[in-house]
Structure 1
Amino acid sequence: MEVRYPAVAGSFYPSGDALIEMLEEFLGDLGEEGSDRRITAGVAPHAGYIFSGYTASRTYKTIFEDGLPETFVLLGPNHTGLGSPIAVYPSGKWRTPLGDVDVDSEMARAIAKLSGIADLDEIAHKYEHSIEVQLPFIQYLAEKAGREVKIVPIALGIQDEEVSEDLGKAILEASKELGRDVLVIASTDFMHYGAMYGYVPFRARADELPHRIKEWDFRIIRRILDFDVGGMFRELREMGHTMCGPGGVGTAVVYSRLAGALEAELLHYTTSYEVSRSTDAIVGYASIVFKR
């Protein structure tokens, strides 16, 4: 069976016991696993855990306390440019320092079949970190629940409204066709500011920068909370915003809307500045869930 080995263990997140210790610190306030299953989708960041791990943990804590699904459909941007533009990982296992998690191959094939744009492709995922960094949270919580969950990783090299509508519908139709209880995770970071990203859209005093970046991010977040995919992409274009995973977020919104979600909640927001205290480069991070 094909195994996708970790590409960023020991860099974006720790290996070995240090990973468990970090997850326990992030999730020290974790409650009991719930059974409501009102949550249809979540948004979580994918930077190094030292910067965005706590924010990501808020998404997973809330999901756990609502109830884990059978299958997580994980959408992340393709930073490497390898492989298919819309790449659904077909089958096998993904490995992290916490062990292996199975790919839901039936669900993967159904999404690719029902989508007008997606391909079954492993290459796009080989070195990509945006989905990998989500897995230790999922594995940790599955262990807490005493059961296994599966994943369907989807890497997006093209991100627009058309992709969001296509994939959101395909995921819903596939879940119905297979009778599968699924939850969508959109892996994204928000504003990327600074010369190292080749992006300085405005000038501000160093002490004003984090506030300005938060303002820009919240223009996008408000659209997400309103389930407004078109408005989100319009704001991104008008602002020249550098959110890296809008296609996954758009897919999560479309899927949630079709699955009967009625509300969205911002759980946590922060920036890398809170840790680095550097204004040379700042990235925004948000944790969001959508509920029926």
Structure 2
Amino acid sequence: MVNGKMLQCRYYNELDFHQSVDNAESFGNAESINNTKSSYNAESSGSTESPDNVKASIEPTDIGVENSNIDSIKIKGGIVPHHLLAGEMIASFFKTISVEQPEVIVMIAPNHKGTGVKAVHTGSWSWQTPFGVLDADEEIIKSLIDSNIADTNFDLLEEEHSIAGLVPYIKYYMPDSKIVPILLHGTYRLKDAQQLGQNLQNKLKNENKKALIIASVDFSHYLLLEKADEMDEVSIKAIKNRDISLIQNFNNDYIDSPPSIITLLSAMDTVGAAHMEILDHSNSDRITGAKSNETTSYFTVIFYDK
């Protein structure tokens, strides 16, 4: 549990972590991603197995690879899985966004257990990772607590894999960044999620901090692969179209945290990140090579302006 005012990375597995990082070196043309922001050439994990209409809608895309330069794309946020089975996707995502060298990573994620006294939880303690201490941004976190938006819950932060599982990747790829962890209850209201996204961007702007806002979200749950692909098509289309009224009614067949996605989209609208690109899409069946009746699917996505 919480140890001496330092949060622990209780989901870290050394072998799995380094395997995911090593694989990410060749995943999605990582070398070119390091050299230029305009190369996001990630390959789909088994996307040829999807129905043609689904594949055409959700397969990864390139961002102006030939015509862009280093300054043409400014990443402002993204979507990443938290199921560590998708570790290769997670590593590749954080490697990709690390080109921005943000001062702050705001990580918005589901409170799976739905516990705690408020719908929003955060905490100002730093994280002890295998790669050193990941500092919390105490100023931003304090402002969320002082404005009565969020409540402090260190135990919940450490126990919740949607943030704790990703912390080592943040420290590994962005060693100088700080974190603002935010856990949202599944019943967090639409208008509150939208307001939170706006407030976050305004606070970051007022503090003059270069930040990325990330939603830690897994997509369809407990479905056969073919049905999961269908649900993923609906979900990613709604996100691309900023269809908030549809997203707020999604259940686990679609995504595991509509409030996290809505907060992210509100923040992206506030900062003017009108463009979205899918880096990768996969499913637990494709990753393991198994055929299960209950799969989980994943996207990695970036939002950017030019």
TM-score category (smaller protein): 0.7 to 0.9
Residue 17 of structure 2, aligned match among 12, 15, 19? 19
CA gap 1:27/1:139 in 2 versus in 1, 3 angstroms: farther
- % identical aligned pairs: 26
**Corresponding residue for residue 136 of structure 1:** 168
Amino acid at match of 1:286: F
| Structure 2 residues not aligned, in runs of 5+ | 38-69
Q: Is the 8 A contact 1:86 1:154 kept in 2?
A: no
Find the residue that maps to 2:248 and give its secondary structure.
Answer: helix
2:199 and 2:134 map into 1 onto residues whose CA distance is 23
CA gap 1:85/1:137 in 2 versus in 1, 3 angstroms: same
Deviation at 1:18, TM superposition (A): 5.4
**Corresponding residue for residue 60 of structure 2:** none
Residue 105 of structure 1, aligned match among 132, 135, 138? 138
| Residues 44-101 of structure 1: CA deviation (Å, up to 9, x unaligned) | 00112xx312222343233123x12110000111123332433443322112222220
Deviation at 1:258, TM superposition (A): 0.5
Matches within 5 A, 1:1-292: 2-9=5-12, 14-15=13-14, 19-28=17-26, 29-30=30-31, 31-32=34-35, 36=71, 38-48=74-84, 51-65=85-99, 67-114=100-147, 117-143=149-175, 148-157=176-185, 158-193=187-222, 209-234=224-249, 236=250, 241-276=253-288, 277-292=290-305
2:36 and 2:104 map into 1 onto residues whose CA distance is 16
| Residues 230-277 of structure 1: CA deviation (Å, up to 9, x unaligned) | 23224x16xx73521221111111000000111111111110011331
- Alpha carbon RMSD of aligned pairs, Å? 2.3
Q: Is the 8 A contact 2:129 2:171 kept in 1?
A: no
Q: Is the 8 A contact 2:248 2:259 kept in 1?
A: no
Q: Is the 8 A contact 2:248 2:258 kept in 1?
A: yes
Amino acid at match of 1:129: H
1:131 and 1:169 map into 2 onto residues whose CA distance is 21
Q: Mean Cα displacement is larger for which, 172-181 or 25-34? A: 25-34
TM-score computed with the length of structure 2 as normaliser: 0.78
1:273 and 1:63 map into 2 onto residues whose CA distance is 26
Matched residue count: 262
Find the residue that maps to 2:159 and give its secondary structure.
Answer: coil
| Structure 1 residues not aligned, in runs of 5+ | 195-208
CA gap 1:228/1:247 in 2 versus in 1, 3 angstroms: same
CA gap 1:160/1:54 in 2 versus in 1, 3 angstroms: farther
